[in-house]
């Protein structure tokens, strides 16, 4: 799939009417935090020199001024200042919750915003994302230390020895590009880690982070391209509004309202761009890794594995773990990289949320099933495999609705999911048996392709 | 030429006793001591004739030096004191190094790249008739002394006992040979690869002060004798005026520039070297540079020829307007303001080739504006050196007729680099070079006045320059809001906003300063202001409040405990104080003061008291109390409008007596409002309207207000200030407040409400710490506040959006 398709899916996801509500939620949180941050300052404005009726003052200044910070500093009690820092931390935590909620919404079949999905998903993944946040902070700290202590002294030494200002200038540019790119890479890796956590129901954040690094490293151009395009989009939004603010400065009271509206709209757009990036990355991830929807069907079409894709080798032969519920969040099974039997423990999650999983249908899946390019697909590698009209006889069919009498791959006794330990053991056994016993399938399983939450235009079964 | 020299010397008090042989000796050894007959100032006391050879591989020089000194002492002098300043770089225990270990002017001295100067031979040439030509070895008597701090490891001052004392008015000649090695670019001097800036490189005599001269200085230099401080971190230099003739032999690949005028085309030697000879009269130091990569640009500043290459018609008109104002202010004719031709030689780095025009234009601007303000630049040459990349520690320095500047690879077309530093260093030609105050003792006299002067010339000649910021190695024509200094908007009173800048950094907002925050701070566009003009206060007032006060301005440079406080006092507070003084007496009067100060002490060594005396004399006011507070103390001041109120008199309640009959007879007529009482009172005295109707404008029933405001002075710096207040429907009114008391409460009745009160509306007191509290409005403009609230909200939203990427 090309990055443009991913971006298109990201846009389509973001622009769904229900999801615009989600953006609004994000905006409200941001705006509330921002209002809280500036609230100690606003009252002082009316008593300070800014309150001059001389409009030339207003015209002469294009944006906020340092003295506002002076006022903030001088007239804000120390406790309130500490509150600002605390507020930023709280905002980051709320933002973490939101990210989890958004990704939970993304991974559902229809990809539409629902309050239960959003909040329950946020709750489920919050702690994991918080751990990722700590990991990211640590990584940034370490990176900063490396730059300050190792890279910069080297560059400084070169600069001190050199007489060639031009080369030092360009070296400095390279250094800045490197630093910015590295920070962007870190942010991107952790975004994929979040996506991975939700899509593949990961619990070990360290392993997830390393897996995400591997994911990015195997697809550096495409992952970085998606990030860069959305970053440039963000810059374009910022630049456009900056131009508006400069071209149309506040000269009267009405313009204040206009500026307020523009400010809110700017923030809304920036939140939107951020969600577009996340959704595009999620689409890209699912397209490359595959996923299973909450109702047991794979969300993204399995992409054709690359020969060098180690992650694919990790995919056990197995099937999805379908479950039926309206509360389609949470666990998934996957036929994809890094998925082991442990990941099937998502059932625990279902139980913890009162979701009763459906009996498992175990279908053999070929480790490297042949793919067939759909007729209407013009996408790049990895290619999406459309379902067959008629599944081959050798492959057990999986109905849309779970069968009442599941076909078991072995003589294992069915286990009720209400018995957690037995359920887990059962699934591990199932997984083992899949890997060990099932012959590879010649054709992709019919559930390998299902509706795509990011592009409902794609063919569906 | 010699005739004039001789006549000058003949008029000296001690010269008559010098015999014919002395005159012959003088003509042989002292041919360079030539006083300009048409100019005043001190007589040149010393002449140097130096031959030096550069070894660029070893960064070493070897030289021969002949020093001829005419004693100005009132008693026999038995010794000589030399500056041996390259020894400051000899090891880590010198006074310079202990004061600033291996870090000076932003650069570090690499261990191993030590510098030194070693006198290998030293002889006195006997001058009496009986021993003409005899050379007495003085080397055994050479000793290092440490008059400032007693640091035995410091060898920056050498003392030698003369074989024969020098009588008052007589001349002594010493010949010496020396070898010196330069440190890597550090503290104003040194090399960087094949580039060399040679400053403080030769054994140089100290200043001999008579008892009267020394009395003006603090201990230990307050007694008659040699004045020869050690090399310190914070201070620069002081020497006697003299004549220098220096012959520099360097590899032919090198371009050499130096103080003074190149005497003849350089001579190529057979050994692959070239000899350059420079000579200059009436200067007090000599520096030179050599670099094979220099690009040379030469122009002649000719005041009689239009310089379309540098000045547009608009700029020419601006200058002519300024010149006309100066003529009118100083009462001088055009001829009296005439400037002199100067040969400007620019030694430029190849990476800055596209900035040659800007460098040269800045030099021309300086020659023009400084010339009409403070008197024409008297020398024939000016050499502007663009230091090599990596040798920034040698940049931004002033030496007579020779300045080093600094720039970078890419500069903003409307920024002030390289013009700012070029104009600053060139201003030093007037305040240091010509008016040669003692930089050890009162550095503010040159740095403070120079900073003031630079601001003035930038304002006059470069009004369109804007603030820039370095963003990713590029100078960007916008300024991050958090880096803006508050006074950038203070150019026009009441139309601008200002504040003390020291609280602007994020670190001052209880947030840690970190690279991540810095990245956010520098996020472009939304956090930037475009086209913020360079204001003459910019940077100066800003930096003043960045630091707690240390010492007063008038302190010895090396008594400041760190560079920050030294810079703050000398470069920052001093020009602010000068600007405040200018605001107190007016710009024309202040220009007269500077002009007179320049004229009186050109080629002289004035002190701060000389400046104060000139200030009082020319301004016709006794400004000493204010001067002393600002320059001799660390007193601070902050003016503030504490409160203002406006209450309609009819609102007053209580029992008010009604005046009955004549004055003094009052009668309580029962409960009345104040308005009723006033109304009846006015009616009785015929103050009612023409038909007996109630006067609504001036009567007590309505429209009469009791206005009150309180202003306060915090801090012990007492300066007079104007309080401006505005009553609705009237023009603003002023009230002069001497501020001797800490508060002023002013109450008055008026038919209009008090709208606002402003302390120091015209921003005269630049030492006022916080300007945001100088104004208060009765009814704040909520519209403005809301507008800024939106801006702050946008800032906060963007910040949160930035951080949301991490979670």
Which residues of chain B have a CB within 8 Å of the CB of A267? 794, 797-798, 801
Q: Is the dihedral of CA B662, B668, B674, B676 positive or negative?
A: negative
Which residues of chain A have a CB within 8 Å of the CB of B788? 45, 50, 64-65, 68
Give the mean model confidence (pLDDT) for residues B148-175: 92
Task: Of A214, A397, A232, A362, give the one whose Cα is nearest residue A288.
Answer: A214
For position A252, what pLDDT does the model report? Answer: 65
Which residues of chain A have a CB within 8 Å of the CB of B780? 46-47, 51
Which residues of chain A have a CB within 8 Å of the CB of B498? 49, 67
CB within 8 Å: A56 and B771 = no
Question: Could you tell me if A162 lies within 8 Å of chain B, comparing CB atoms?
Answer: yes
CA–CA dist B334, A252 (Å, integer): 50
B232, B223 Cβ separation under 8 angstroms? no
Which residue does chain B place closest to A86, by CA atoms? B511
* pLDDT single digits (tens) B730-758: 888 999 999 999 999 999 999 899 988 88
Which residue does chain A place closest to B790, by CA atoms? A260
CB within 8 Å: A38 and B503 = no
Which residues of chain B have a CB within 8 Å of the CB of A181? none
Residue B20: pLDDT over 70: no
Give the mean model confidence (pLDDT) for residues A278-286: 89
* pLDDT single digits (tens) A141-155: 999 999 989 998 888
CB within 8 Å: B529 and A50 = no
User: What band does B325 get if pLDDT is binned at 50, 70 and 90?
Assistant: very high
Residue boundaries of the structural domains of chain B: 2-287, 293-436, 635-779
CB within 8 Å: A95 and B807 = yes
For position A156, what pLDDT does the model report? Answer: 84
Question: Could you tell me if A74 lies within 8 Å of chain B, comparing CB atoms?
Answer: yes
Residue B471: pLDDT over 70: no
User: What band does B684 get if pLDDT is binned at 50, 70 and 90?
Assistant: low
Q: Between the CA of residue B35 and those of B38, B49, B168, B243, B433, what are the distances in Å?
A: 9, 17, 19, 9, 16
Which residue does chain A place closest to B784, by CA atoms? A51
**Tokens standing for residue A223:** 């992952």
Q: What are phi and psi for residue B437, nearest 5 degrees?
A: -70, 170
Class of B2-287 in CATH: mainly beta
CA A52 to chain B, closest CA, distance in angstroms equals 6
User: What band does B687 get if pLDDT is binned at 50, 70 and 90?
Assistant: very low
A363, A298 Cβ separation under 8 angstroms? no
Identify which of B349, B390, B504 has the shortest CB distance to residue A162. B390
CB within 8 Å: A133 and B793 = no
Beta pairing, strands B77-83 & B204-205: antiparallel
Give the mean model confidence (pLDDT) for residues A60-79: 49
Which residue does chain B place closest to A265, by CA atoms? B794
The strand ranges marked E within B126-240 are: 135-137, 143-144, 157-166, 171-181, 190-192, 195-198, 204-205, 207-209, 225-227
CB within 8 Å: A50 and B515 = no
Residue B696: pLDDT over 80: no
Which residue does chain B place closest to A139, by CA atoms? B806
3-state secondary structure B731-758: CCEEEEECCCCCEEEEEEEECCCEEEEE
Greater model confidence, B324 or B9: B324
CB within 8 Å: B784 and A238 = no
Residue B511: pLDDT over 90: no
Give the mean model confidence (pLDDT) for residues B653-665: 60
- Between helix A3-15 and helix A17-38 the angle, nearest 10°, is 80
Bridge partners of B52?
A: B63, B248
Identify which of B510, B530, B795 has the shortest CB distance to residue A64. B795
CB within 8 Å: A91 and B800 = yes
3-state DSSP call for residue A199? Answer: helix
In B375-498, alpha helices (H): 419-427, 444-461
Q: Which residue has the tokens 């024409």?
A: B376
Question: Could you tell me if A247 lies within 8 Å of chain B, comparing CB atoms?
Answer: no
For position B536, what pLDDT does the model report? Answer: 55
Which residues of chain A have a CB within 8 Å of the CB of B773? 49
Question: Could you tell me if A164 lies within 8 Å of chain B, comparing CB atoms?
Answer: yes
Which residues of chain A have a CB within 8 Å of the CB of B387? none
CB within 8 Å: B788 and A56 = no
Task: Of A138, A135, A128, give the one whose Cα is nearest residue A198.
Answer: A128
**Tokens standing for residue A446:** 């019919």
Question: Could you tell me if A86 lies within 8 Å of chain B, comparing CB atoms?
Answer: no
Greater model confidence, B247 or B10: B247
A333, A346 Cβ separation under 8 angstroms? yes
Question: Could you tell me if A238 lies within 8 Å of chain B, comparing CB atoms?
Answer: yes
Task: Of A107, A24, A68, A91, give the one whose Cα is nearest residue A330.
Answer: A107
CA B699 to chain A, closest CA, distance in angstroms equals 30
Give the mean model confidence (pLDDT) for residues B158-168: 93
Who's near B181: CB < 8 A, 6+ residues apart? B58, B59, B60, B61, B86, B114, B115, B116, B117
CB within 8 Å: B801 and A30 = yes
Beta pairing, strands B190-192 & B474-476: unpaired
CA A457 to chain B, closest CA, distance in angstroms equals 30
For position B128, what pLDDT does the model report? Answer: 60
User: What band does B780 get if pLDDT is binned at 50, 70 and 90?
Assistant: low
Residue B614: pLDDT over 90: yes
Torsion of CA B755, B757, B761, B766, to 10 degrees: -150
Question: Could you tell me if A263 lies within 8 Å of chain B, comparing CB atoms?
Answer: yes
Which residues of chain B have a CB within 8 Å of the CB of A162? 389-390
Beta pairing, strands B273-283 & B288-291: unpaired
pTM of the model: 0.73
CB within 8 Å: A245 and B526 = yes
Which residue does chain A place closest to B509, by CA atoms? A73
Q: What are phi and psi for residue B126, nearest 5 degrees?
A: -70, 140
User: What band does A409 get if pLDDT is binned at 50, 70 and 90?
Assistant: very low
CA B532 to chain A, closest CA, distance in angstroms equals 9
CB within 8 Å: A263 and B530 = no
Q: Between the CA of residue A191 and those of A12, A185, A275, B174, B209, what are the distances in Å?
A: 19, 10, 11, 78, 75
CA–CA dist B309, B300 (Å, integer): 12
**Tokens standing for residue B538:** 């910019």
* pLDDT single digits (tens) B528-548: 455 555 555 655 665 666 566
ipTM: 0.72
CA–CA dist B779, B644 (Å, integer): 10
Which residues of chain B have a CB within 8 Å of the CB of A163? 192-195, 293, 388-390
Task: Of B582, B570, B536, B593, give the one whose Cα is nearest residue B373.
Answer: B593
For position B656, what pLDDT does the model report? Answer: 66
* Burial call B509-521: b when 16+ CB within 10 Å, e when fewer: bbeeeeebbeebb
Residue B5: pLDDT over 50: no
Average pLDDT, rounded, for chain B: 80
Which of A58, A70, A94 has the most B C-beta neighbours within 10 Å, making it the best mutation to test the interface with B?
A: A70
Q: DSSP letter string over A26-41?
A: HHHHHHHHHHHHHTTT
Question: Could you tell me if A30 lies within 8 Å of chain B, comparing CB atoms?
Answer: yes
Identify which of B529, B793, B798 has the shortest CB distance to residue A35. B793
Give the mean model confidence (pLDDT) for residues B413-423: 91
Q: Between the CA of residue B104 and those of A273, B186, B187, what are the distances in Å?
A: 48, 6, 5
CB within 8 Å: A163 and B500 = no
Interface A–B counts its CB contacts (< 8 A) at: 248
B199, B128 Cβ separation under 8 angstroms? no
Give the mean model confidence (pLDDT) for residues A434-443: 47
Give the mean model confidence (pLDDT) for residues B765-778: 77
Greater model confidence, B14 or B772: B772
Question: Could you tell me if A356 lies within 8 Å of chain B, comparing CB atoms?
Answer: no
Residue A63: pLDDT over 70: no
**Tokens standing for residue B499:** 């504040």
CA–CA dist B767, A333 (Å, integer): 71
Who's near B219: CB < 8 A, 6+ residues apart? none
Which residues of chain A have a CB within 8 Å of the CB of B482? 66, 69
CB within 8 Å: B504 and A169 = no
CB within 8 Å: B780 and A51 = yes
How many C-beta atoms surround the C-beta of residue B223 within 10 A?
A: 12
Identify which of B780, B784, B792 has the shortest CB distance to residue A64. B792
Strand (E) or helix (H) holding A213: helix A205-218
Residue boundaries of the structural domains of chain A: 3-27+125-288, 292-461
Question: Could you tell me if A47 lies within 8 Å of chain B, comparing CB atoms?
Answer: yes
Greater model confidence, B527 or B250: B250
Residue B215: pLDDT over 90: no
Who's near B86: CB < 8 A, 6+ residues apart? B115, B116, B117, B180, B181, B182, B183, B189, B200, B201
CB within 8 Å: B484 and A65 = yes
CA B354 to chain A, closest CA, distance in angstroms equals 13
């Amino acid at each position: 799939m090309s990055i443009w398709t991913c971006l298109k899916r990201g846009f389509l996801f973001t622009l769904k009417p229900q999801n615009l509500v989600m953006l609004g939620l994000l905006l409200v949180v941001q705006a509330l935090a921002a209002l809280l941050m500036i609230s100690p300052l606003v009252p002082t404005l009316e008593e300070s020199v800014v309150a001059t009726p001389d409009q030339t003052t207003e015209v002469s200044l294009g944006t906020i001024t340092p003295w506002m910070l002076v006022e903030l500093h001088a007239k804000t009690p120390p406790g309130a200042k500490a509150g600002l820092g605390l507020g930023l931390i709280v905002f980051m935590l709320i933002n973490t919750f939101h990210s989890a909620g958004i990704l939970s919404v993304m991974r559902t079949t229809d990809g539409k915003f629902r309050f239960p999905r959003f909040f329950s998903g946020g709750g489920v993944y919050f702690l994991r994302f918080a751990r990722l946040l700590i990991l990211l902070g640590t990584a940034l700290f370490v990176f900063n230390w490396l730059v300050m202590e190792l890279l910069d002294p080297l560059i400084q030494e070169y600069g001190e020895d050199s007489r060639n200002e031009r080369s030092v200038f360009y070296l400095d540019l390279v250094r800045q590009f490197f630093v910015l790119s590295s920070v962007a890479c870190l942010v991107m890796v952790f975004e994929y880690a979040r996506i991975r956590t939700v899509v593949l129901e990961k619990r070990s954040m360290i392993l997830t982070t390393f897996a995400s690094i591997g994911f990015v490293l195997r697809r550096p151009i495409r992952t970085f391209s998606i990030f860069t395009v959305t970053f440039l989009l963000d810059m374009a939004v910022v630049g456009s509004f900056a131009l508006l603010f400069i071209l149309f400065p506040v000269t009267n009271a009405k313009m204040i309202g206009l500026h307020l509206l523009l400010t809110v709209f700017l923030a809304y757009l920036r939140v939107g761009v951020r969600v577009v990036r996340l959704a595009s990355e999620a689409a890209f991830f699912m397209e490359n890794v595959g996923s299973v929807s909450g109702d047991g069907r794979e969300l993204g079409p399995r992409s054709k594995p690359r020969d060098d894709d180690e992650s694919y080798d990790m995919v056990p032969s197995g099937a999805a773990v379908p479950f039926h519920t309206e509360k389609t969040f949470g666990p998934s099974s996957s036929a994809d990289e890094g998925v082991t039997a442990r990941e099937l423990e998502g059932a625990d999650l279902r139980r913890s949320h009162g979701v009763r999983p459906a009996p498992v249908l175990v279908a053999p899946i070929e480790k490297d099933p042949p793919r067939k390019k759909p007729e209407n697909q013009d996408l790049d590698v990895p290619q999406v495999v459309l379902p067959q009209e008629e599944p081959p006889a050798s492959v057990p069919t999986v109905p849309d609705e779970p069968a009442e009498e599941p076909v078991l791959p072995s003589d294992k006794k069915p286990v009720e999911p209400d018995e957690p330990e037995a359920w887990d053991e059962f699934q591990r056994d199932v997984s083992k048996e899949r890997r060990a016993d099932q012959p590879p399938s010649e054709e992709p399983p019919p559930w390998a392709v299902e509706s795509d939450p990011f592009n409902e235009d794609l063919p569906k079964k | 030429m010699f005739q004039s020299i001789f006549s000058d010397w003949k008029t000296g008090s001690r010269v008559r006793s010098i015999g014919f042989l002395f005159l012959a000796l003088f003509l042989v050894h002292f041919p360079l001591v030539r006083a300009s007959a048409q100019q005043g100032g001190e007589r040149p006391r010393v002449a140097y004739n130096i031959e030096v050879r550069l070894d660029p591989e070893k960064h070493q020089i070897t030289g021969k030096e002949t020093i001829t000194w005419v004693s100005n002492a009132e008693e026999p002098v038995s010794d000589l004191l030399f500056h041996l300043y390259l020894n400051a770089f000899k090891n880590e225990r010198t006074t310079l190094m202990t004061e600033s270990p291996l870090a000076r002017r932003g650069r570090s001295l690499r261990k191993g790249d030590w510098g030194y100067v070693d006198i290998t031979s030293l002889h006195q040439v006997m001058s009496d008739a009986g021993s003409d030509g005899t050379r007495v070895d003085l080397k055994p008597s050479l000793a290092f002394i440490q008059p400032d701090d007693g640091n035995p490891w410091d060898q920056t001052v050498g003392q030698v006992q003369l074989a024969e004392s020098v009588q008052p008015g007589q001349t002594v000649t010493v010949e010496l040979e020396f070898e010196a090695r330069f440190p890597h670019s550090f503290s104003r001097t040194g090399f960087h690869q094949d580039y060399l800036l040679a400053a403080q490189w030769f054994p140089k005599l100290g200043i001999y002060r008579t008892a009267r001269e020394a009395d003006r200085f603090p201990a230990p230099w307050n007694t008659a004798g040699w004045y020869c401080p050690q090399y310190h971190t914070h201070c620069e230099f002081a020497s006697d005026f003299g004549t220098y003739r220096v012959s520099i032999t360097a590899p032919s690949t090198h371009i050499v520039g130096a103080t003074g005028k190149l005497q003849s085309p350089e001579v190529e030697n057979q050994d692959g070297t070239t000899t350059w000879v420079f000579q200059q009269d009436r200067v007090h130091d000599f520096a030179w540079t050599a670099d094979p990569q220099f690009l040379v640009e030469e122009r002649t500043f000719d005041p009689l020829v239009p310089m379309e290459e540098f000045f547009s018609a608009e700029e020419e008109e601006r200058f002519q307007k300024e010149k006309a104002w100066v003529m009118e202010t100083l009462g001088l004719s055009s001829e009296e303001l005439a400037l002199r031709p100067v040969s400007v030689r620019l030694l430029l780095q190849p990476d800055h080739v596209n900035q040659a025009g800007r460098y040269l234009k800045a030099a021309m601007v300086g020659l023009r504006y400084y010339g009409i303000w403070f008197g024409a630049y008297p020398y024939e040459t000016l050499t502007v050196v663009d230091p090599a990349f990596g040798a920034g520690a040698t940049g931004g320095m002033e030496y007579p007729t020779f300045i080093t500047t600094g720039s970078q690879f890419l500069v903003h077309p409307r920024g002030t680099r390289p013009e700012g530093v070029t104009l600053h260093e060139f201003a030093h030609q007037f305040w240091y070079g010509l008016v040669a105050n003692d930089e050890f003792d009162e550095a503010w006299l040159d740095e403070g006045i120079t900073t003031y002067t630079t601001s003035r010339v930038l304002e006059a000649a470069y009004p369109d320059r804007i603030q820039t910021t370095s963003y990713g190695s590029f100078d960007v024509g916008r300024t991050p809001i958090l880096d803006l200094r508050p006074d950038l908007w203070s150019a026009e009173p009441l139309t601008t906003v200002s504040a003390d800048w020291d609280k602007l950094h994020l670190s001052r907002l209880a947030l840690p300063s970190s690279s991540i925050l810095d990245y956010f701070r520098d996020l472009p566009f939304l956090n930037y202001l475009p086209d913020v003009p360079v204001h003459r206060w910019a940077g100066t007032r800003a930096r003043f409040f960045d630091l707690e006060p240390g010492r007063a301005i008038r302190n010895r440079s090396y008594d400041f405990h760190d560079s920050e406080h030294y810079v703050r006092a000398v470069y920052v507070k001093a020009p602010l104080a000068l600007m405040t003084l200018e605001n107190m007496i007016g710009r024309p009067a202040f220009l007269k003061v500077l002009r007179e100060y320049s004229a009186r002490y050109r080629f002289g060594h004035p002190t701060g008291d000389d400046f104060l005396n000139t200030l009082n004399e020319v301004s016709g006011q006794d400004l000493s109390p204010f001067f002393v507070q600002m320059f001799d103390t660390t007193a601070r001041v902050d003016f503030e409008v504490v409160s203002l109120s406006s209450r309609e008199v009819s609102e007053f309640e209580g029992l008010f007596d009604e005046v009955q009959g004549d004055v003094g007879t009052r009668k309580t007529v029962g409960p009345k409002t104040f308005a009723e009482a006033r109304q009846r009172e006015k009616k009785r005295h015929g103050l009612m309207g023409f038909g007996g109707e109630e006067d609504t404008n001036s009567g007590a029933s309505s429209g009469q207000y009791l206005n009150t405001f309180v202003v306060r002075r915090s801090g012990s710096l007492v300066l007079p200030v104007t309080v401006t207040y505005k009553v609705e429907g009237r023009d603003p009114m002023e009230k002069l407040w001497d501020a001797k008391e800490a508060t002023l409460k002013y109450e008055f009745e008026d038919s209009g409400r008090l709208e606002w009160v402003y302390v120091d509306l015209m921003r005269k007191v630049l030492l006022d710490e916080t300007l945001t509290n100088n104004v208060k409005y009765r009814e704040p403009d909520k519209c403005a506040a809301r507008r800024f609230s939106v801006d702050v909200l946008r800032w906060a939203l963007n910040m949160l959006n930035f951080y949301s990427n991490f979670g």
